[in-house]
Amino acid sequence: MAVIKPSVARDLPAGPGAQSRVRELLSKLSSRPSAAISTAVILALILLALLAPVIAPYDPTHIDVYTRLSAPSVQHWLGTDSLGRDNLSRTIYGSRVALEIALPAVFGAFVVGAVLGMLAGYLRGWLDRVLVVVFDTLISFPAVILGLALLTLLGPSVGSVIFVIGIALVPYYGRLVRAQTLAQREVGYAKTERALGASRRRVLGRHLFPNVVPELLTVVAMDVPGAIVDEAGLAFLGLGVQPPTSDWGVMLGDGFTNIAASPWGVVGPILALIVLTAAFLVLGESLRDTLDPGRQGKRRGLLSRLRRNHR
Amino acid sequence: MIGYLVKRLSLAILVLLLVMILLVLLIQFIPGDPARTILGNHATPELMAQVRRNLGLDDSVPQQVLTFVGDALRGDLGQDYISGQPVTSEIGTALANTALLSLASIVLALIVGIPMGLIAAVRKGGIIDRCIRAFSVLLLSMPPYVVALLLLLWFAVDNHLLPALGAGNLADPGDYLAHLLLPALALAVFWWAYLARLVRGSLLEVLGQPYVRTARAYGLSKQTTLYRVALKNALVPITALTGLLLGYVLTGTVYTEVIFNRPGIGSLAVSAVGNRDWPIVRAIVLIYAAAFILGNLLADLAYQFLDPRLRLDNRTEAFL
């Protein structure tokens, strides 16, 4: 009996097609009004960030001390801050900073976590054990607390804030991908491939990766608002993005300092943070209900998301 | 059970040890001379030498780890090189304030959140149920610092109903509690909505189980069935959330202490980060991590103890 050559293995189809599942999911989602509204809100916020120079009524750094700390008026819909800068324009520009930090932090963390998690789950052995303990150690720090330690040593800059938020997420993604890989590893097609003599790289790249990663990406996208909340929080404490950047946290800090004189400084960023988080929350719940309608999707979904955001 | 206890406990100790090692190593990974980073560009060589000696940077790395872990076990967390005082004496009262705040907000979250969920489940479709459903997305979408800022605006800036600044006088319990209320509330509100939804869902699930019907069929009153049978079982999965709640509260203390100007380890850490006061930051981060590890350990053990089904497959759970 001839030995089956790896070239035969190459002709085996990859796991269940991801594309058809995405299409099915989208058609189911579009029939839910809450999903449609929340998606529209998120897209509007992204547009706001992209088109900030066109939409914002003023230059967010334009200082006008004669109108400092003013209440909302026809000229300044959300009032002005302690240097007379337009709060609305600063809030609009703030969405740029928020996305500039949150997107690389979350997706960078996912790339690192996915690679480590897949290696741990697929190779097992000592590497797996070491990585699990490293993940456990990093998870023992609530994200912002770890941020305090790292920012003392790194100093505040956009790069260090991205790093600080990202590194707190890596262990969650690492664990998630590891668990998925462990499960997929034993599924028939992966076993067959191994039996047919496919290399580790091939099994990981051609079969495990396409089956493990795309579904997790929706989960990961739901962490973007959490990252923005952390970013704004660190900036509010004066440890993240620094003034005079038009950042929601920086604005909250300035508004808080002058809160007795004018409460209007904090309104813009507060509304922005709430609307953004709410939109992602509602979209996440619709997604989960669509994905597994039978299984009390709401509860589980919320739980797993909070786990990542608030630790 | 004993096997699980030993395994879980040793994992917690191992992780705590690794946290300490990480805190020592962290300063090694920073590019450049840590003493220069901490002191800035205009430091004198003598001062830099002093900082280096103070942080033990002249020793080898394993020696530094041993010194830090050994000292920490004896309750010595190093010296603040700005004031020259031992870190533990600087942290002392601040730690008590933060611990009380964390405790108060957890208690406040539980004593309101769980009954809310209970009422929502029993009166499904009633006022509380509808209110929770209407407001929960809003409440769940507010970061802790936003809640704190809004409370500060409503109760302290506009109406002066409650004291908003400082921690109050610990010798005068009434005054201290009045100062504690707003910060604790700021951290609890989110959990009211969250717990109410969770308890409601969990309880409705349990109420549909055959054993609840059996209990009723055996003649137990509605009340007894609800509290002794259903609620007890519905709360078990909630135990697993304790760690989550703790993580949220610990992070939240940093924000609320700054916003309400409370002297606690959170606000102390923030000012220490600004001063690049590494010994203080390191000690506080260690305390937060230790509290978090301990809380999660207790939650896991409680869950394990309360849900006998888990004891069967704890061999896989322990390492995941």
Partners of residue B251 in chain A, C-beta under 8 Å: 142-145, 310
Number of CB atoms found within 10 A of residue B89's CB:
11
Q: Angle, to 10 degrees, between the axis of helix A224-236 and the axis of helix A267-291?
A: 160
ipTM: 0.85
Contacts of A237 in chain B (CB under 8 A): 254-255, 258, 270
pLDDT at residue A14, rounded to an integer = 47
How many percent of chain A have pLDDT more than 90?
Answer: 27
d(CA A216, CA A42) in angstroms, rounded, equals: 19
B222–chain A nearest CA distance, Å: 25
Least confident of A107-121, A132-146, B43-57: B43-57
Q: What is the DSSP letter of A13?
A: P
DSSP code for A67: G
Checking if the pLDDT of A5 tops 60, the result is no
A102: left (phi over 0), alpha (psi -120 to 50) or beta: alpha
Which among B124, B97, B287 has a CA at the least distance from the CA of B196? B124
Between chains, do A145 and B250 touch, taking CB under 8 Å as contact? yes
Q: Write down the mean pLDDT value for chain A.
A: 80
Neighboring chain A residues of B198 at a CB cutoff of 8 Å: 299, 302-303
Structure tokens at A299: 């509860």
Please tell me the distance from the alpha carbon of residue B186 to that of residue A4, in angstroms, as a whole number: 65
Whether residue A14 lies inside any domain: the answer is no
Q: Do residues A68 and A82 lie in contact, with contact meaning Cβ atoms separated by under 8 Å?
A: yes
Question: What would the pLDDT profile of A36-64 be if each residue is shown by its tens digit?
Answer: 888 899 999 999 989 888 887 888 887 77
Spell out the residues 6+ positions from residue A129 whose beta carbon is closer than 8 angstroms to its own: none
Mean pLDDT of successive 10-residue segments in chain B (320 residues)? Answer: 83 90 82 71 79 77 84 81 78 90 93 91 87 86 93 78 69 80 91 90 87 85 82 81 84 93 91 84 92 88 75 48
φ and ψ at residue A198, rounded to 5 degrees: -70, 150
d(Cα B201, Cα B121) in Å, to the nearest integer? 7
| The token pair that represents A282 in the structure block | 């509602």
Q: What pLDDT sits at residue B164?
A: 64
Answer yes or no: do B205 and A296 touch at CB < 8 A: yes
Query: Quick check: B134 contacting A, CB < 8 Å?
Result: no
Domain assignment present for residue A103? The answer is yes
Contact: B201, A298; criterion CB under 8 Å: yes
Residue from B288, B293, B316, B319 whose CB has the most chain A CBs within 10 Å, to mutate: B288
What is the pLDDT confidence band of residue A28, given thresholds at 50, 70 and 90?
confident
How far is it, in rounded angstroms, from Cα B205 to Cα A72? 49
User: For the segment A187-201, what is each residue's pLDDT rounded down to a tens digit?
Assistant: 777 777 777 777 777
**CB–CB contact B273 A229 (8 Å):** no
For an interface test with B, the pick among A42, A126, A137, A299 (most B C-beta atoms closer than 10 Å) comes out as A137
The domain tally of chain A equals 1
Closest residue in chain B to residue A151, using alpha carbons only: B273
pLDDT value at position A116?
93
Measure the CA dihedral B65/B71/B74/B79, to 10°. Answer: -140
In a domain, residue A247? The reply is: yes
Range with the poorest average pLDDT among A2-6, A171-175, B311-315: A2-6
- The pLDDT, as a whole number, for residue B216 is 84
User: In which region does residue A71 sit, left (phi positive, over 0), alpha (psi from -120 to 50) or beta (all else)?
Assistant: beta
Higher pLDDT pick, A79 / B193? B193
In this structure, how many other beta carbons lie within 10 angstroms of the beta carbon of residue A281? 21
Task: Report residue A86: phi and psi, to 5°.
Answer: -75, 120
pLDDT confidence of residue A305 = 43
In angstroms, the CA B79 to CA B143 distance is 34
| pLDDT value at A293 more than 60 | no
Residue contact B289–A140, C-beta within 8 A:
yes
Answer whether residue A283 shows pLDDT above 70: yes
Which of A41, A224, A237, A283 is the best residue to mutate to test the B interface, defined by the most B CB atoms within 10 Å of its own CB?
A237
Chain CA centroid to CA A226, Å: 7
In angstroms, the CA B73 to CA B281 distance is 18
CA distances from residue B37 to A145, B43, B53, B79, B275 in whole angstroms, order as listed: 20, 10, 15, 18, 11
- Both tokens of residue B273? 């980060």
What string of DSSP letters covers A138-183? HHTS-HHHHHHHHHHHH-S-HHHHHHHHHHHHHHHHHHHHHHHHHH
Scanning B41-60 for CB atoms below 8 A from A yields none
Nearest by CB to A252, from B15, B145, B247: name it.
B145
Write down the pLDDT at residue A4: 44
In 3D space, the residue among B220, B155, B209, B212 whose CA is nearest the CA of residue B183 turns out to be B155
Q: Which of A169-178, A188-197, A229-238, B246-255 has the lowest mean pLDDT?
A: A188-197
> SS3 of A247, please?
coil
* Nearest partner of B283 among B92, B125, B115, judged by Cα: B92
**Which among A132, A233, A281 has the least Cβ separation from residue B145?**
A233
A82 lies in which domain range? 20-310
Radius of gyration, alpha carbons of chain B = 24
Cβ–Cβ below 8 Å for B152 and A259? yes
Q: How far A215 CA lies from chain B's nearest CA (Å)?
A: 21
Superfamily of domain B96-263 in the CATH hierarchy: MetI-like (1.10.3720.10)
| Residue A202: Cβ-neighbour burial (10 angstroms; 0-12, 13-18, 19+) | middle
The Cα B198–Cα B118 span in angstroms is 10
Statement: residue A310 has pLDDT above 50? no
**Would the CB atoms of B273 and A152 count as touching at under 8 Å?**
yes
Is B194 part of the contact surface with chain A (CB cutoff 8 Å)? yes
- Reported pTM: 0.85
Instruction: Measure B201 CA to nearest chain A CA, in Å.
Output: 7
| Structure tokens given for A263 | 């409460």
Q: What is the identity of the amino acid at A48?
A: L
A174 within domain boundaries: yes
Q: What is the CATH number of the domain that holds A72?
A: 1.10.3720.10
- Report the residue of chain B nearest A255, measured CA to CA: B149
**Residue B29 corresponds to which tokens in the numbers above?**
């990974």
DSSP, res A293: T
On whether residue A251 sits in a domain, the answer given is yes
What are the tokens at B67? 């010194």
For CA atoms B222, B228, B233, B236, give the dihedral sign. Answer: positive
Which DSSP letter does residue B165 get? Answer: S
From chain A residues 206-265, the ones with a CB under 8 A of any chain B CB are: 229, 232-233, 236-239, 252, 255-256, 259-260, 263
What residue segments make up the domains of chain B, in order of their start? 2-73, 96-263
- Given a contact cutoff of 8 angstroms between Cβ atoms, the answer to whether B194 and B135 are in contact is no
Confidence check: pLDDT of A227 > 90: yes
As beta bridge partners, residue B86 has: B79
Q: Which two tokens stand for residue B267?
A: 């606000």
Window B:62-101, CB contacts with A under 8 Å: none
